Amino acid sequence: MSTPQPRLALVTGATRGIGHEIARQLAEQGVRVLLSGRDRAAAEAAAQAMRGEGLDVEGLELDVTSTAGIAAALAVVEREHGRLDILVNNAGIRVEQYGRQPSEQPMRHWRETFETNLFGLVEVTTAFLPLIRRSDAGRVVNVSSLLGSLTAHSDTGSYTYSDAFKSLPAYSASKSGVNSWTVHLAYELRDTPVKVNSVHPGYTKTDLNDGAGEFDVTAGARTSVRMALLDDAGPSGTYQHLGEVLPW
């Protein structure tokens, strides 16, 4: 009788910050994790450090803005594993400067932001979707942000309704796009075992936030891990934070 294989997860942008902690927490739950990043050496070093703690983690080079790089990573995963159970789309950037008016952010920041936060996320997902469909219980987790919620942005009582966060129009719009992609893909896959959800990690202390925030990375990773490990009764096509469904 063969031994069941552990679930296999790919986490993008996982060499540091929330992605790194998502990879750790999944591995601690017995998941085999492909810890990916655009820098091969950084990904392999991070994976090796976790293996030293007894965790089942492999490094994988994956630049989400590179079509060739995505294809190369896909070829590695297909050759070595033949399937993918969990995809956590965590890679993201914030290049806009706090303090500028929305109309003052240059177009180059819009284009750079969307290349990683939305276009890269969509391209990675569509590339790996055939492998995810081979899973008995595929899960796609798209790491969004409360800044992707138009409802929150319009709520004068929300922390998003502030000079600081209104100075990030490209980042916010890219995460709104991620939420829209989540809804569309969940609809496409509604009659399959694959579940697709967006998550808000919480305002987490990372380099992306210049070290500011309310949560440490341990807490910031929890929602992504929870949605990655959903059972068959779990939801699809939702936007969540720590068990709470958020308004789009």
The residue extents of the domains of the chain are 8-245
Q: How far apart are CA 211 and CA 107, in angstroms?
A: 26
Question: Which numeric CATH code is attached to 8-245?
Answer: 3.40.50.720
Q: What is the mean pLDDT of each run of 10 residues along the chain (248 residues)?
A: 82 98 98 98 98 98 98 98 98 95 97 98 98 98 98 96 96 98 98 98 82 86 98 98 97
Give pLDDT, residue 1.
47
d(CA 35, CA 46): 8
The residue assigned the tokens 């809804």 is 183
For residue 171, indicate whether it is catalytic: yes
Pairing of strands 244-245, 239-241: antiparallel
Task: Report the C-alpha dihedral over residues 111, 70, 186, 171, rounded to 10 degrees.
Answer: -20
Cα diameter, the chain: 64
Quick one: tokens of 168?
């990030």
Q: What is the pLDDT of residue 210?
A: 75
Per-residue model confidence (pLDDT) at position 212: 81
CA distance 161 to 77: 42
Task: Count CA atoms within 13 Å of residue 111 on its CB side.
Answer: 3
Interatomic CA distance for residues 175 and 180, integer angstroms: 9
Residues in Cβ contact with 62 at an 8 Å cutoff, skipping those fewer than 6 apart: 10, 12, 36, 37, 38, 43, 69, 70, 73, 124
How far is the C-alpha of 23 from the C-alpha of 39, rounded, in Å?
A: 16
Residue 24 buriedness (CB in 10 A; 0-12 / 13-18 / 19+)? buried
Catalytic residue among 98, 171, 203, 239: 171
